[in-house]
Each structure stands twice: as structure tokens, then as C-alpha cells.
Amino acid sequence: MRPLPCLVKDCRGSALLEAAIVLPVVMSLAFGLAELGRALHHQHVLTKTVRDSARYLARVSLACPATGDANWANAQSAATTLALTGQVGGTTPLVGYWTAAAFTVGAPACQTIMGRPVQVMTVTGSVDYQSMGFLSLLNLPPLRLQASHQEIHIGE
């Protein structure tokens, strides 16, 4: 066995000890940033699809109030599909865990502005973010991603 003063001056194995101390911190930061980036991307996609869906409704030819129009059910369904898939006739969700139930197309109310009937179209999306596992590893609750957008109906 070597005497204690010799062990204090010996530098062999110090890199391994430093790596053992630093590596968990660096890996936690890397996985945390990847998880945050993925969550921000899903929030961005949700915001864009809700906006596009409301803009689509704003351009559909509807009577005032829209809920009494025969085209309203078709427009509402198309707007929900657009929000979910990114296409009016799409079938595959933009994000795998999203469902049509996550999107709400609000019934527009007919208002009079400057003597003209106007409708405000509202589309809302709200989904629970499905983590890659890092949030559950830290015992954090799931994030709730939400977006809402309103557009004034302008017709065709």
C-alpha cells in the first residue's frame, strides 16, 4: 500500500473522477434542452394550425349567423381536420398524439359593426404534451399546450 502523501500528488484517474461528476449535469442539460425544443416546436405547430383553421373559416361562404347555414357543419368539420392534419382533406395528424377532440371550433355570433353584420370565427386547440420521458423522469406533470385564434368572417 502506498503512503497517503503519494496518493495526494498522484493525478492518475482524475479525469475519470471529473467526468463522473460533470457528465450527469451535462447529460441532464442536453436532454432538458431537447425536451424543451420539442415542446416549443409542438406549441409552434399548434399555434400555426389553429391560425390557419380560423383563417380558412373566415373565407368560407356562410350566412349570418353561420350556425343556421347549411354549410356550417361542413366548414366546422373541415376546419377541425385542417387544424389536426394541416390539410382540409388530410388524414394523418401533424403530431402523432393529437386527436380531433383537441380542437374546438366555436360557434360564431353575428354582430353589427358600422351597420354591417360581422361574425368572429374562433378556433381553439388544447393538448397535453407527450414528453420523450424526461419530464416523467423528473416527476414533473405533463405540459398543456394551448392556442386560440380569432378571425373576422370576410367570405369569399
pLDDT of residue 156: 62
pLDDT of residue 4: 61
- Please state at what angle helix 14-59 crosses helix 72-85, rounded to 10 degrees: 160
Average the pLDDT over each of 25-34, 62-71, 105-114, 129-138 and give the range with the smallest value. 62-71
* Average pLDDT of the chain to the nearest whole number: 86
Residues 6+ apart with CB under 8 A from 109: 65, 119, 120
pLDDT of residue 32: 85
Chain position carrying cell 381536420: 81
The Cα 47–Cα 52 span in angstroms is 9
Q: Is the pLDDT of residue 119 over 60?
A: yes
Residue among 116, 112, 90 nearest 103 (CA): 90
Q: Is 94 or 114 the better-scoring residue by pLDDT?
A: 94
Average the pLDDT over each of 13-17, 78-82, 121-125, 145-149 and give the range with the smallest value. 13-17
Q: Is 131 or 100 the better-scoring residue by pLDDT?
A: 100
Residues 6+ apart with CB under 8 A from 4: none
The model carries a pTM of: 0.81
Q: What is the pLDDT of residues 4-32, one digit of tens each?
A: 666 566 677 778 888 889 998 898 888 88
